[in-house]
Amino acid sequence: MSQDPFNYNQARAYASHFGLWIGLMWIASFICSMYSFDHMMLGHLGNIIAIFSFFVLVRQVKNYRYQISDMSLLQCIWMCFTICIFAGLITTGVQALYFHFLDNGHLVDSLARMFSQEDYRALFEQYFASQQPEDIIQLIQGMTITEIIVQMMSINFMISMLFAIFGGMLAHRGKVRQTEQNQ
């Protein structure tokens, strides 16, 4: 561990680098999720990738804390949040490209097929008694690409906040080990 004080510029550069890697994991998870309606195993793979990305995030912040500069709890949370914001921006950009060029109504068609199945319809009606599945599908069909992207960006931001808080707490756990050569 270095004895240097926390350097926000250096930390931001580190965060942008690892934000790219976390973003690539989130993109893979998103792509798997989009095609999980047709291939259920892709949905599971997407969930595994998303959960794994949280542990990669914590590991990278811990590595920074141990090898470059010790950080307070708030600095760990800030670092996690910065990494997640970079990842979320990259993911949102790819989601925009996906919905603009590749989706061609696949999401809405998949949701319509899902809601037409009796099991999903009963589950939906149990949780959302005041809404009909057809109303939700019409709402989604009426959304523009920009509105979908804004919704996705909001979701990415909320995930970033949760990942940052819990990831920062986990990354801050444990004492920074000092070796004789670093003292």
Residue 56: pLDDT above 60?
yes
| Short-list 30, 11, 15, 18, CA closest to 153 | 30
pLDDT at 139: 81
Q: How many Å apart are CA 169 and CA 177, to the nearest integer? A: 18
pLDDT at 176: 67
pLDDT at 92: 93
Work out the pLDDT band at 178, boundaries 50, 70, 90: low
Percent of the chain with pLDDT over 70: 93
Residue 2: pLDDT above 70?
no
pLDDT at 43: 92
